Amino acid sequence: MDVLTEALHSMKTEAPTSVRTEGRAPWGLRLPPVAGAGFHVVLRGTCWLIPLDDAVHLEPFVLSPGDVVFLRNGRGHALADHPSTPAHEERPDQYQPGGPIGTVSVGGDGPRTTLLCGNYHLDQGRPHPLVRQLPEVVHLSTGLGHHPELSAAVSLLATELENPRIGSAGIVPALIESLLLYILRAWFETQPAATATGWAAALTDPAVAPALASIHDRPAAPWTVESLAESAGLSRAAFARRFTALVGEPPMAYLTRWRMTTAAKLLRESEASLTDVAARTGYSSEYALAKAFKREYGQAPGGYRRQSRAS
């Protein structure tokens, strides 16, 4: 079971949205907050990312060709050819439809910068702790041989967007979907094994990673701390301490979290009966499921299903 893939899928509410941005110096584009996570890929040229929220505690920084930025909370920010260039929000007349995705053109007649800008629609109301532990801004460079898989994805996107051909309309959205996994895989793999903490360590820990995979693979199984510890080859106390330190909550709390996440996904995306949802998430009856679900989500499963489909 791929815990990273499952965790992201549990938060996804719809397909990502994206646009090709063409900036010619002098140019500045102010991007308001989005309900999800923002991302940028520099396909050509250079630019600056300028935070607009003091809570991020981040200075403006330069982006080079092949750089990728992931903004975990979708905070507002600006992109510009230089930090001193005024930034303005996009106007309708700056957008041109066409190609695999539309294009926003801004600025004057100076050097050109081309970016892929977008938004991953992730539910921030109940973020998975794996995502919640990420930095506010993840900045990765694919130059000089860094992150070869991410670099290959960026190169493919650049080719398809610069010279769209037959099939590009299907290829580009699929590449953008997979880009999020490449970004997070690259970030997790940059964390030094000797000093990694939290989920960066949990995903590769020889005891915790298999336990997480077991919970994700079989949430309905009658897991106990003892059974998970036994499979990890540790004592109950040692396993519980290690799991809690890395994941951020005790094993049974995380099991309940994942069962509720799975139940919510089934309620949103399937026609499974409440009895079936209960059985597939480890609860003996609709009543037991409803009690646990209401404690986590503040409403009964049936009400949650109706509300999620009405929105």
Give tens-digit pLDDT for 108-119.
999 999 999 999
Do residues 260 and 296 make contact, with C-beta atoms less than 8 angstroms apart? yes
| Angstrom distance (rounded) from CA 148 to CA 166 | 26
- Cβ contacts of 15 within 8 Å, gap of 6 or more: 121, 173, 177
- Whether 26 contacts 110, CB under 8 Å: yes
Determine the pLDDT at residue 252. Answer: 97
Cα-based angle 198, 11, 30 (whole degrees, multiple of 5): 90
Asked if 239 and 229 count as a contact pair (C-beta separation under 8 A), the reply is: yes
Please tell me the predicted confidence (pLDDT) of residue 56.
62
Assign 232 a pLDDT band (cuts: 50, 70, 90).
confident
Q: What is the pLDDT of residue 250?
A: 97
Predicted pLDDT of residue 54:
66
The CATH architecture one would assign to domain 201-310 is Orthogonal Bundle (1.10)
Q: What is the mean pLDDT of residues 17-27?
A: 97
CA distance 265 to 64: 38
Q: Are strands 88-89 and 95-96 parallel, antiparallel or unpaired?
A: unpaired
Q: Judging by DSSP bridges, how do beta strands 112-120 and 61-63 pair with one another?
A: unpaired
**pLDDT of the residue at 36:** 92
Q: Can you tell me whether residue 105 is helix, strand or coil?
A: strand
The pair of structure tokens assigned to 157 is: 């996107």
On the question of pLDDT at 311 being above 80, the answer is no
Instruction: Tell me how far apart the alpha carbons of residues 27 and 139 are, in angstroms, rounded to a whole number.
Output: 22
d(CA 195, CA 198): 10
Q: How does DSSP classify residue 98? A: -
Task: Say what the pLDDT of residue 144 is.
Answer: 81
Give pLDDT, residue 153.
95
Domain extents for the chain?
Answer: 3-190, 201-310
Most confident of 47-56, 135-144, 277-286: 277-286
Could you tell me which residues come within 8 angstroms of residue 93 by beta carbon, excluding any fewer than 6 positions away? none
Q: Considering the domain 3-190, what is its CATH architecture?
A: Sandwich (2.60)
Pairing mode, strands 61-63 and 103-107: unpaired
Q: What is the pLDDT at residue 98?
A: 87
Residue scoring higher pLDDT (125 or 134) = 134
Report the greatest alpha carbon distance in the chain.
67
Q: What's the confidence (pLDDT) of residue 53?
A: 74
The 10 Å Cβ neighbour count of residue 124 is: 17
Answer yes or no: is pLDDT of 286 > 70: yes
DSSP 32-89: ---SSEEEEEEEES-EEEEE--GGG----EEE-TT-EEEETT---EEEESSTTS--EE
CA distance 101 to 171: 11
Alpha helices in the chain (DSSP H): 3-11, 129-132, 148-162, 168-190, 198-202, 208-217, 225-232, 236-247, 251-269, 274-280, 286-297, 301-310
CA 255/CA 221 separation, integer angstroms: 10
